[in-house]
Amino acid sequence: MREITYAEAVKEAMCQRMRDDKDVFILGEDIGIYGGAFGVTNGMLDEFGPERVRITPISEAAISGCAVGAAMMGMRPILELQFSDFIMIAMDNIVNQAAKMRYMFGGKAQVPTVIRLPGGSGAGFAAQHSQSLETWMTHIPGLIVVQPSNAYDAKGLMKTAIQNNNPVLYYEHKLLYNTKAEVPEEEYEIPLGVAEVKREGTDMTVVATGIMVSRTLEAAKELEKEGISVEVIDPRTLVPLDKETIIQSVKKTNRALVVYEAVERSGYGAEIASMIGESEAFDYLDAPVSRLGGIATPIPYNPTLEKAAVPQVENIIAKVKSVMNK
């Protein structure tokens, strides 16, 4: 099977859906000739033209409002925000309009839109362009939140997201764009709300999200050399969350750790930890459920400090050992 990058996988999914469905179109800042802030939409203007590759002014409020309106009228827009941090300027359209329209109109109105959100740290974009804010969106009923960790999942989840009749927030980590994986050319989809066991283990369950999946897998390889067997679970979608896969894993390993990039305080890991504690897996625990997230600071511009602000492989290894010792 061929290998392509995460960015190519996202683009391929969008192009395939646009070829199949004339109601699918993309809009956002610099997505045409420039190819988007991270080059994901490069070449799409040439294939689909300016009617379906809509280059917009620099106004997240205007872009999101246009997308929500188009979706309500039967189209399927894919909106790119250059950085996930900019979602704050579009919050009213997303939180008060897109998330609630289907409920307020008794199901007669639908808002099938995908909002692409490049996020995360590690690229040197500093405090206002490097945040991980996905937990904010998981708190809003009516929104679906997707966070692929590799190219294969990115394509399959994007194809599913575009077909969904609800607003989908699709988080793409900036450092993953150039990573490669085996991705089929043929049609495939990954259902929302289905986690994947990325690595089987017996001593501890580590639930990791986004870029932390690859770092946890690397940590698990090192820990195996010391006789610690780590099972790694990637939820893939935060809303809906596949609780059953996580619970069954914890019942097997008897220990659980949640690893995520966002600030640890009030991060999504707390939701997963609470879910485990309230489930039948609680009776199987040999140690308290633990979390590992970023420190409570704006993301620094300095590369060394930026790296220190969020979990790295060595931090995951240390945390796993700490939980094992409990």
Mark whether 60 is an active-site residue.
yes
- Distance set, CA 50 to CA 38, 45, 73, 220 (Å): 19, 6, 20, 47
Strands of the 114-119 sheet, one edge to the other: 53-55, 24-28, 76-80, 114-119, 168-173, 144-146, 237-239
Residues 6 or more apart from 231 whose CB is under 8 A from it?
197, 199, 200, 201, 202, 204, 205, 206, 249, 252, 253
Distance of alpha carbon 289 from its chain centroid, rounded? 23
- Distance set, CA 42 to CA 30, 152, 185, 247 (Å): 10, 19, 19, 41
Nearest to 140 by CA among 105, 107, 91, 80: 91
> Amino acid identity of 297?
T
Mark whether 129 is an active-site residue.
yes
H or E stretch including 145? Answer: strand 144-146
Nearest to 54 by CA among 81, 25, 83: 25
- CA 308 – CA 295 distance, rounded (Å): 9
Instruction: Pull the structure tokens for residue 38.
Output: 């991270």
Q: Which of 129, 173, 261, 306 is catalytic?
A: 129
Q: Which of 29, 60, 261, 306 is catalytic?
A: 60
Residue with tokens 């033209």: 49
- CA 48 – CA 15 distance, rounded (Å): 9
Q: Which residues are catalytic?
A: 60, 129
